[in-house]
């Protein structure tokens, strides 16, 4: 358990949050949300003992193994798979001890260490690391490549694999999907859902949070509060709280009316195709959560494009690739006003290359690309963040696009992207990745394109900005082609899916749930090959040793299970009692007797929970002592 009692954290003189009290229990999966800079990463630093409290108390059981993703990857020469295996620190420690025992010719110690290695899964570590790397997009051929040979984004994937390799009690993940494509995001989601430890997850990916988390810690306005349920449940609860604020009421009604009009308009045109129905459901859900975003600092929309010829752009039998390598062959695509196309496909299949050809920044190897005379492309890609003039301001960047506009008009426009006051005059260099992405999007919107080509537009954007972008794209009247690992954006913005795989780009008959099934089928063959690589005799011995170990530890694990069940039981009853005591009606004169009984029971449950938690910690310690 992680216990936070009246904690306060500061950065310099600024208070991030104060008087925060909540408990995270073993096995819970907690999403940590809030705007950039509110203290999410500082909370993680506290857990890693890199930051100390300014006020309050924090406690956790001794000896917890805490894993997190390193932000830096040294350009080391060891193989990628060895780097990943390094994440299992206990395994590496035992291997070092075994090497020393072998050098000392200590047969008894060697036998003990071999047994311990078996207990921690040391003989299957190579296969476990290989599965992790495969899930995160690495091929079998890349496993032996030196770490120094990978680019920055792929090194971050290695860091993530190393964190997952650790057999941790607590796993801290800060924006783990930032360097992943959709396939890897779906794999990671499934892996984390099965993770047996306690997970704290910072993410701006709504679908990712929804599928994994069972609690949300939300930080805003100097407070950190815990909510039961996933991100959607949190939004609903927060919406109910905001709806009670009179100052937010009018903006809330405008937002709901906007969402309703778009849903109605889309329904009138939609067929009964699965993709259309999927989008309607996503939009209807967005209408329900609109209240949760009434205090968003972002407020912008795409103006109506001028001329919109039909088609806007066409590819005819285009081969796409680099040099002699063709990643897509004979691609034909016609894009008309109003088209909303999402590109799916495995990493390296050519999605970004296809978008570059559509944008005209890369020529096709063969075939033709035909664009209309009035075509105005708005192209968003990560490399454009690097092309900003770092010594210049947001205002300067917009003035370069339109030197006739007044400073007041440009300031008002930038305000919709949360560049307020003096921020519009500050140089871009110290801006965060999210601020730079917002500026590039602001420049794109200002140019009023009739075709949007978006390659991972939500990287670095927080949840509020992602929501604002989704709302703006729903009203956009031009055509959209988007690559994104944010499934919420794909569901709410696109109504056609194009699968880029096996050298082809062709319509995908299904929705994102069908794509997940398609990915699972693709992975089956790879996983079978990895499993078959282990020697048969090793698997037989492993089963025998596992059976012996289970028999040895059975009484201890039974005691641990009993204690865990008691903790869950009393914790659930404690939450129910707290909800009843939070009801103002219980404090009426007519409810005095019931209030007395509730408070007596609350005291009993609190005591029983403390005893159950003590029994649980004792059982865990006994298991650890036995292992040693």
Highest mean pLDDT among 25-29, 32-36, 88-92, 456-460 belongs to 25-29
- Provide mean pLDDT across the span 242-246: 58
Order of strands, edge to edge, in the sheet holding 325-335? 325-335, 313-322, 366-371
Whose structure tokens read 């954007």?
461
Order of strands, edge to edge, in the sheet holding 504-507? 377-380, 451-455, 479-483, 340-344, 496-501, 504-507
Order of strands, edge to edge, in the sheet holding 55-59? 14-24, 2-11, 55-59
Q: Does domain 2-235 have CATH number 1.10.1740.10?
A: no
Give residue-wise pLDDT tens across range 218-234: 998 888 989 999 998 89
Q: Is the pLDDT of residue 579 over 50?
A: yes
- Provide mean pLDDT across the span 181-192: 92
Q: Is the pLDDT of residue 499 over 70?
A: yes
Share of the chain above pLDDT 70, in %: 84
- Provide mean pLDDT across the span 546-562: 67
- Provide mean pLDDT across the span 559-583: 77
Give residue-wise pLDDT tens across range 314-337: 999 999 998 788 999 999 999 999
- Output the DSSP codes for 220-247: ETTEEEEEES-HHHHHHHHHHHHHT-HH
Please, what sign has the CA dihedral across residues 135, 140, 146, 151? negative
Q: What is the pLDDT of residue 14?
A: 79
Give residue-wise pLDDT tens across range 258-300: 655 665 666 655 554 555 565 566 666 655 555 556 567 777 8
Model-level pTM greater than 0.85? no
Give residue-wise pLDDT tens across range 111-165: 888 888 888 878 888 888 999 999 998 988 898 998 888 877 888 899 999 999 9
Q: Left, alpha or beta for 338 (phi > 0: left; psi -120 to 50: alpha)?
A: left
Give residue-wise pLDDT tens across range 59-96: 888 888 899 988 777 777 789 999 999 988 888 888 88
Q: Give yes or no for a cis peptide into 311 (omega within 30° of 0).
A: yes
> Mean pLDDT of all residues in the chain?
83
Q: What would the two tokens of residue 20 be?
A: 């925060």
What is the rounded CA–CA span in Å between residue 622 and residue 199?
24
Q: What is the pLDDT of residue 445?
A: 92
Strands 377-380, 451-455: parallel, antiparallel or unpaired by DSSP? parallel
- Provide mean pLDDT across the span 53-63: 87
Give residue-wise pLDDT tens across range 607-620: 887 787 777 767 66
Fold match between domain 2-235 and domain 313-526: yes
What is the rounded CA–CA span in Å between residue 264 and residue 257?
10
- Give the three-state DSSP class for 5: strand
Give residue-wise pLDDT tens across range 405-455: 999 999 999 998 989 888 999 999 888 888 898 999 999 999 999 999 999
- Enumerate the domain spans of the chain: 2-235, 247-293, 313-526, 541-627
Top-tier CATH class for 313-526:
alpha beta
Q: What is the pLDDT of residue 582?
A: 72
Q: Left, alpha or beta for 460 (phi > 0: left; psi -120 to 50: alpha)?
A: left
SS3 for 97-138 is HHHHHHHCCCHHHHHHHHHHHHHCCHHHHHHHHHHHHHHCCC
Q: Is 191 exposed, middle or buried (0-12, 13-18, 19+ CB in 10 A)?
A: middle
Radius of gyration of the chain (CA): 27
- Give the three-state DSSP class for 361: coil
User: DSSP character for 79?
Assistant: B
Q: What's the gap between Cα 501 and its chain centre?
A: 24
* HSE value, Cβ hemisphere, 13 Å, CA-based, for 167: 11
Q: Is the pLDDT of residue 397 over 70?
A: yes
Q: What would the two tokens of residue 376 be?
A: 């105005």
Nearest to 499 by CA among 616, 385, 341: 341
Contacts of 74 (CB under 8 A, 6+ apart): 147
Q: What is the pLDDT of residue 268?
A: 59
């Amino acid at each position: 358990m992680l216990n936070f009692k009246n904690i306060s954290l500061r950065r310099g003189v600024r208070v991030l949050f104060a008087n925060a009290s909540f408990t995270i229990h073993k096995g819970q999966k907690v999403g940590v949300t809030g705007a950039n800079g509110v203290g999410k990463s500082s909370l993680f630093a506290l857990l890693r003992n890199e930051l100390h409290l300014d006020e309050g108390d924090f406690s956790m059981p001794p000896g917890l193994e805490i894993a997190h993703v390193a932000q830096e990857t040294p350009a080391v020469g060891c193989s990628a798979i060895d780097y990943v295996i390094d994440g299992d620190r206990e395994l590496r420690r035992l291997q070092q001890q075994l090497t020393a025992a072998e050098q000392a010719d200590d047969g008894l110690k060697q036998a003990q260490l071999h047994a311990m290695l078996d207990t921690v899964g040391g003989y299957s570590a190579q296969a476990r690391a290989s599965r992790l790397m495969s899930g995160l997009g690495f091929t079998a051929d890349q496993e032996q490549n030196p770490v120094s040979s990978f680019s920055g984004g792929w090194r971050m994937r290695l860091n993530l694999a190393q964190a997952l390799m650790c057999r941790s009690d607590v796993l801290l993940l800060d924006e783990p999907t930032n360097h992943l494509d959709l396939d890897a995001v779906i794999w990671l989601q499934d892996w984390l859902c099965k993770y047996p430890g306690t997970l704290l997850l910072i993410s701006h990916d709504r679908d990712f949070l929804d599928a994994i988390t069972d609690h949300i810690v939300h930080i805003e306005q100097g407070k950190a509060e815990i909510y039961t349920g996933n991100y959607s449940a949190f939004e609903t609860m927060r919406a109910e709280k905001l709806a009670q604020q009179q100052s937010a009421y009018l903006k809330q009604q405008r937002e709901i009316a906007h969402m309703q009009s778009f849903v109605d308009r889309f329904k009138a045109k939609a067929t009964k195709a699965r993709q259309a129905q999927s989008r309607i459901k996503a939009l209807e859900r967005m209408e329900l959560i609109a209240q949760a975003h009434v205090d968003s600092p972002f407020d912008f929309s795409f103006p109506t494009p001028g001329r919109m010829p039909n088609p806007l752009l066409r590819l005819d039998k285009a081969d796409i690739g680099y040099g002699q390598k063709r990643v897509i062959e004979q691609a034909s695509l016609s894009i008309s006003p109003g088209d909303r196309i999402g590109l799916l496909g495995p990493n390296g299949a050519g999605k970004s290359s296809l978008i570059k050809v559509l944008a005209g920044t890369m020529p096709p190897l063969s075939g033709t690309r035909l664009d209309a005379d009035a075509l105005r492309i708005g192209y968003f890609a990560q490399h454009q963040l690097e092309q900003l003039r770092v010594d210049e301001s947001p205002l300067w960047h917009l003035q370069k696009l339109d030197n006739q506009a007044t400073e007041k008009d440009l300031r008002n426009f930038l305000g919709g992207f949360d560049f307020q006051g003096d921020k519009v005059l500050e140089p871009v260099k110290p801006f965060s990745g999210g601020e730079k992405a917002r500026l590039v999007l602001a420049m794109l919107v200002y140019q009023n394109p009739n075709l949007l080509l978006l390659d991972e537009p939500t990287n670095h954007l927080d949840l509020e900005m992602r929501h604002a972008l989704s709302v703006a794209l729903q009203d956009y009247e031009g055509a959209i082609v988007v690559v994104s690992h944010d499934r919420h954006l794909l569901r709410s913005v696109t109504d056609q899916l194009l699968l880029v795989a096996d050298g082809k780009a062709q319509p995908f008959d299904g929705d994102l749930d069908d794509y997940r099934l398609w990915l699972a089928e693709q992975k089956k063959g790879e996983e079978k090959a990895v499993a078959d690589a282990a020697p048969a005799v090793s698997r037989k011995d492993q089963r025998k040793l596992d059976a012996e170990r289970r028999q040895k530890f059975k009484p201890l694990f039974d005691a641990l299970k009993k204690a865990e069940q008691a903790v869950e039981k009393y914790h659930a009853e404690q939450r129910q009692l707290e909800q009843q005591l939070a009801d103002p009606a219980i404090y009426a004169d007519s409810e005095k007797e019931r209030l007395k009984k509730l408070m007596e029971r609350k005291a009993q449950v609190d005591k029983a929970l403390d005893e159950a938690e003590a029994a649980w910690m004792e059982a865990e310690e006994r298991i650890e002592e036995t292992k040693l």
